[in-house]
Amino acid sequence: MENQQLIPHLFRTEYRKITAVLCKLFGIEHIEIAEDIASDTFLAASELWSQKGLPENPVAWLYTVAKNKAKNHLKRGAIFNEKIAAQLRHSTISVEEIEIDLSSQNITDSQLQMMFAICHPAISSQAQIGLALRILCGFGIEEIADAFLTNKENINKRLFRAKEKLRTENISIEFPNAEEIDSRLESVLRTLYLLFNEGYYSLSNQTILRKDLCAEAMRLTHMLTENEQTNTPAVNALLALMSFQSSRFDARVDPQGEMILYDDQDESLWNAELIAQGEHYMNLASTGSNLSKYHLEAGIAFWHTLKTDCVEKWESILQFYNHLLSLEYSPVAALNRTYAFSKARGKEEAIVEAEKLELNDHYLYQALLGELYSGVDSVKAIRHFKDALRLCRSTTDHRLLERKIGKLESRI
């Protein structure tokens, strides 16, 4: 891998590790210093490697430089007086001998502990996702702005407020105690679920970015499965859900970036390895007595990996949605449940169910009604598709709706 490609790749994989370890050492209140040292390390790499060529072991070089920069900062900064001096007062260890542990185990532990800090209930969900993308995933500010369809200034402000909240709440970078672990893990799973959805259902047309978001959510969830304290059925269910959903990623968009609906997807493009992975984690999730929303959504996603259009499939999906809505209502789940109802019971019965929802200002609701009325009443179908078009923000969905309207109008 050439220098121009290697540094961005290493930034994505190593920045988060260095930041997590240094932030744990310095404390959450000094999170910017940890980020600055990590960023300065990569700036030094960019300058020196372009002049002198790549070192024999680029990752080891980055870790050594980061350690040296951190020790230099400790020697001259307030952090030393606040956090380190008291520990050294009754010790013969000098600041030069302080161990900045960038071992594989400490990196993993630090990232998991940082995950719990970032996903603290005191932080808003949107801020949690932003912090996760920046600190746990190594995304640049511009990439995060693209993911949220906003600008860098707004993201910087959002991250600044979130970091201030971490400081004012005095949130520690550590594993929650045994009494708190379950409730705190719920917040972590919700953030990872939202992070994955930000990629899978993103309004951005940047396919690579969307895949990266999903991959990072899966990586962080996989880390939870590898730790004894966090390897719960709900975590495995979430990873199963992500695996099933990701398996159809390449079939959802055509080469021109146009969305391909489920019924029209090329099954040969589905990733069999990810489907098998989803089944593996689904089996692991089947232990215990608690049924989470991730179990139910994983069940729905599993049935979507079977291209058969039989009644059994859609009845099973319908029952999963019924259970899901009783557990946690959401308008999108209600709309998806109505679509499954139409496949299991027919469009005319589904129209009655759909119109009970009265989600008139939601473009997906209007699009669903357009779909249900197609083949039943073309005039009403066109009207609903046009309402969806008016409410829709996504360019890709705009084009999809325009094609549907064009097809119906050509038949009238």
The structure tokens listed for 2 are 């050439």
261-270, long-range: CB < 8 A, 24+ apart: 261/400, 262/304, 263/309, 267/307, 270/305
How many angstroms separate the CA atoms of 12 and 191, rounded?
20
79 Cα distance to chain centroid: 33
DSSP at 290 = -
Which 3 state secondary structure label does DSSP give 253?
Answer: strand
Mean pLDDT in the chain? 89
Sign of the C-alpha dihedral computed for residues 136, 296, 121 and 156 taken in this order? positive
- For residue 377, what are the CA distances in angstroms to 279, 350, 384? 40, 14, 11
96-150 pLDDT, tens digit each: 556 789 999 999 999 999 999 999 988 888 889 999 999 999 888 888 888 777 8
Class of residue 76 by CB neighbours under 10 A (exposed 0-12, middle 13-18, buried 19+): exposed
- pLDDT cut 90: percent of the chain above it: 65
* Per-range mean pLDDT, top range of 81-90, 200-209, 229-238: 229-238
Q: Report pLDDT for 91.
A: 43
- For residue 99, what are the CA distances in angstroms to 64, 84, 104? 12, 12, 14
Per-residue pLDDT band for 78 (boundaries 50, 70, 90) equals low
**What is the arithmetic mean of pLDDT over 299-303?**
97
409: Cβ contacts below 8 Å, ≥ 6 apart: 382
Q: Report pLDDT for 79.
A: 54
Q: Report pLDDT for 191.
A: 93
The structure tokens listed for 304 are 């979507």
Q: Is the pLDDT confidence value at 80 over 70?
A: no
Q: Report pLDDT for 263.
A: 87
144-167 pLDDT, tens digit each: 888 777 899 999 999 999 999 999
DSSP at 177 = P
Residue type, 358: E
How many angstroms separate the CA atoms of 371 and 393, rounded?
19
Q: Report pLDDT for 251.
A: 92
180-232 pLDDT, tens digit each: 898 899 999 999 999 999 888 876 656 655 888 899 999 999 999 999 999 99
- pLDDT cut 70: percent of the chain above it: 92
How many angstroms separate the CA atoms of 280 and 274, rounded?
10
Strands (E), 13-91: none
243-262 pLDDT, tens digit each: 999 999 989 888 877 788 88
Q: Report pLDDT for 93.
A: 43
Q: Report pLDDT for 88.
A: 44
Query: Domains (ranges, CATH) in the chain?
Result: 1-102 (no CATH), 329-412 (1.25.40.10)
